[in-house]
Amino acid sequence: MTFDPRTISGTPYGAPLVPPLPIRLRRTEILTVVYETDAAAADALLPQPLELAAPLVLVNVYWMHDAEFFGVYGESAVQLPVRLPDGAPAMYSPFLVLDSDAAVAAGRELYGQPKKAGRVTLRPDGDLLVGRVERNGIDLLTATICWKQQACAPDLLEALVPGSGTNVNLRVLPLDGADVRRELVVRDFEDVIVHECWTGPATVELRPNAQVPIHQLPVRTVRGATHRLIDLTLPPGRVIHRY
Ligand SMILES: CC(=O)CC(=O)O
């Protein structure tokens, strides 16, 4: 007995990785370090018509304590502050490494996020919170912040880098034959509840890996950092520009 493909919402049949959105991510722990980099290096990673808003990089290391559908896992996202075609602030993510196959597939298929598989941890080591990102046996990113030294306002990150809850990516969808559709897709964090927000002295260290060349964004000066525990909803993306 064959089945009717019109009843299937995800591909391939029998091995769905991508959830129907929205999904809720509860107790998402995030270490974010903001650092200054070379404007020309950041610019070179951006698709037109996005414009670099500031020569800053946001390094986010997440520990997902309870993500619907995906489970419990580590994720990382390197982001650049940009202006969308309508002038609104957002973050473009050239590099994301994580250790959930479903979250890799969902980010790539639904939002066009260039997610790749790797190992990510975020844990305290004594009085320091340490985020580690590893792929191909190389520790390509280590971020740290002193453990809960100073409570901060929930919107500290947004004040430092406007648009930090909005992500924009270039999605390229294969169509018939060699035909493709190219579009910019925006994803907002919705219904955010901030349980804890801390700031303090922080560091970022990068190591070259040709598969995830974050080292192309050299660390000049750390401008700020937060350690947050939040709940958020991941909604469907919206197309804001077609090529
Ligand atoms: C929370 C995530 O899944 C990462 C992101 O979309 O920026």
For the domain made up of 19-242, the CATH class stated in words is mainly beta
Q: Which residue, chain included where needed, has tokens 């809850």?
A: 165
pLDDT for residue 180 is more than 80: yes
- Rounded Cα gap, residues 206 and 222, in angstroms: 13
What pLDDT was estimated at residue 24?
A: 98
What pLDDT was estimated at residue 5?
A: 85
Average pLDDT of the residues of the chain: 96
Nearest to 24 by CA among 63, 62, 67: 67
Q: pLDDT tens, 30-89?
A: 999 999 999 999 999 999 999 999 999 999 999 999 999 999 999 999 999 999 999 999
Q: Is the CB of 100 under 6 A from ligand 1?
A: no
Q: pLDDT tens, 205-223?
A: 999 999 999 999 999 999 9
What pLDDT was estimated at residue 104?
A: 98
Distance 103 CA to ligand 1 centre (A): 9
| Residue from 18, 62, 116 whose mutation best tests the ligand 1 pocket (most atoms within 8 A of CB) | 62
pLDDT for residue 10 is more than 80: no
Distance 228 CA to ligand 1 centre (A): 14
pLDDT for residue 136 is more than 90: yes
The share of the chain scoring above pLDDT 90, in percent, equals 91
- Residues 112, 83 contacting (CB under 8 angstroms): no
Please give the angle made by the CA atoms of 182, 52 and 152, to the nearest 5 degrees.
115
Please give the angle made by the CA atoms of 144, 149 and 152, to the nearest 5 degrees.
95
Q: Is the CB of 169 under 6 A from ligand 1?
A: no
Q: pLDDT tens, 231-240?
A: 999 999 999 9
239: Cβ–Cβ under 8 A, 6 or more apart, which residues? 171, 183, 184, 185, 186
What pLDDT was estimated at residue 11?
A: 72
Q: Is the CB of 32 under 6 A from ligand 1?
A: no
Distance 51 CA to ligand 1 centre (A): 21
The share of the chain scoring above pLDDT 70, in percent, equals 100
Distance 115 CA to ligand 1 centre (A): 10
Nearest atom, ligand 1, residue 167 CA:
7
- Rounded Cα gap, residues 139 and 215, in angstroms: 12
Look up the pTM and report it. 0.96
> Which residue owns the Cα nearest ligand 1 atom 4?
77
Query: Token pair of 237, please?
Result: 């993306």
What pLDDT was estimated at residue 13?
A: 82
Range scoring the smallest mean pLDDT among 7-11, 102-106, 198-202: 7-11
> Cα separations (Å) of 201 from 30, 128, 133, 215?
15, 10, 20, 22
Domain boundaries, the chain: 19-242
What pLDDT was estimated at residue 109?
A: 93
Q: Is the CB of 77 under 6 A from ligand 1?
A: yes
Q: Is the CB of 164 under 6 A from ligand 1?
A: no
ipTM (interface predicted TM): 0.91
What pLDDT was estimated at residue 57?
A: 98
